[in-house]
Homo-oligomer: A and B are copies of this chain.
Amino acid sequence: MSEAEIVDGPVLIVGTGLIGTSIGLALRRAGVEVLLEDATPSVLQEAIYRGAGSMADGSRVPQLVVVAVPPDAASGELARVAQVFPEATITDVTSVKGLIVDEAIEAGADAHRLIGGHPMAGREISGPEAARADLFDDRLWILTPTGHESEGHLARVRRLVATCGAQVLEMDPAEHDAAVALVSHVPQVVASALAAALVDEPADRIRIAGAGLIDTTRIAGSDPQLWTQILRANAGPVSGVLAEVTGRLQQVLDALAPGPPPQGSQQRPEGQHIAPVTEVLDDGRQGHARLPGKHGATSVRYAIVPVLVEDKPGELARLFVAAGDLGVNLEDVRIEHVLGRPSGLVDLFVRPDVLEILVQGLTEAGFDVRA
Contacts and interface: CB of A to CB of B under 8 A. Distances in A.
Interface in A146-175: 167, 169, 171, 175
A323 B314 CA distance: 7
Interface residues of A, number: 142
A140 B19 CA distance: 42
A206 B180 CA distance: 9
A284 B192 contact: yes
A54 interface: no
Contact of A228 (B134, B274, B311): B274
Interface string A213-255: 1111111111011011001110110110111111011101100
A331 interface: yes
* Stoichiometry, copies per complex: 2
B256 A195 contact: no
Contact of A206 (B183, B278, B330, B332): B183
Interface in A189-212: 189-199, 201, 203-212
A249 B245 contact: yes
Given A195-B287, A198-B182, A212-B187, A239 B224 contact: no
B246 A242 contact: no
B338 A280 contact: no
A81 interface: no
A188 B212 contact: yes
B256 A235 contact: yes
B345 A134 contact: yes
Contact of A316 (B140, B269, B330): B330
B193 A248 contact: yes
Given A205-B182, A274-B228, A339-B138, A235 B284 contact: no
A144 to B, nearest CB: 13
B242 A203 contact: no
Interface string A262-297: 000001110100100110111111111111111111
5 contacts: A192-B248, A195-B285, A216-B218, A224-B284, A313-B324
Interface of A: 99, 120, 124, 132, 134, 137-140, 142, 167, 169, 171, 175, 178-180, 182-184, 186-199, 201, 203-222, 224-225, 227-228, 231-233, 235-236, 238-239, 241-246, 248-250, 252-253, 256-258, 267-269, 271, 274, 277-278, 280-299, 308, 311-333, 335, 337-343, 345, 349, 370
